[in-house]
Amino acid sequence: MESEKTRPMTPLERVERLYLELVDSYGEGSDREIRAASKLLMVALIKLKEHGGFGWQGMVEEYLLMLKNDPERYERMLDANRGEGKAWKA
């Protein structure tokens, strides 16, 4: 069994680490968590538009609705993408 210290980071874990680095880069500034998250969202949205094809907006709306209406399901999806679950269950 792989130790958490030796296993490679998942893509989601790498993004979460980048988020923390961005938060730190704002020092003691106000709203630093929101500012860091906004920067990641801005980049994510343009990349989805560029590479997501016709249905990119639907995917964004699906994630937003899931987060609003079923936050536990959204958390399970995140956990699975962190490697904390063998398979994501809806």
**pLDDT for position 29:** 86
Mean pLDDT in runs of 10 for the chain (90 residues)?
Answer: 70 96 94 97 96 94 97 96 64
Cβ atoms of 73 and 90 closer than 8 Å: yes
**pLDDT for position 88:** 45
Angstrom distance (rounded) from CA 72 to CA 54: 28
Q: What values do phi and psi take at 30, rounded to 5?
A: -75, 150
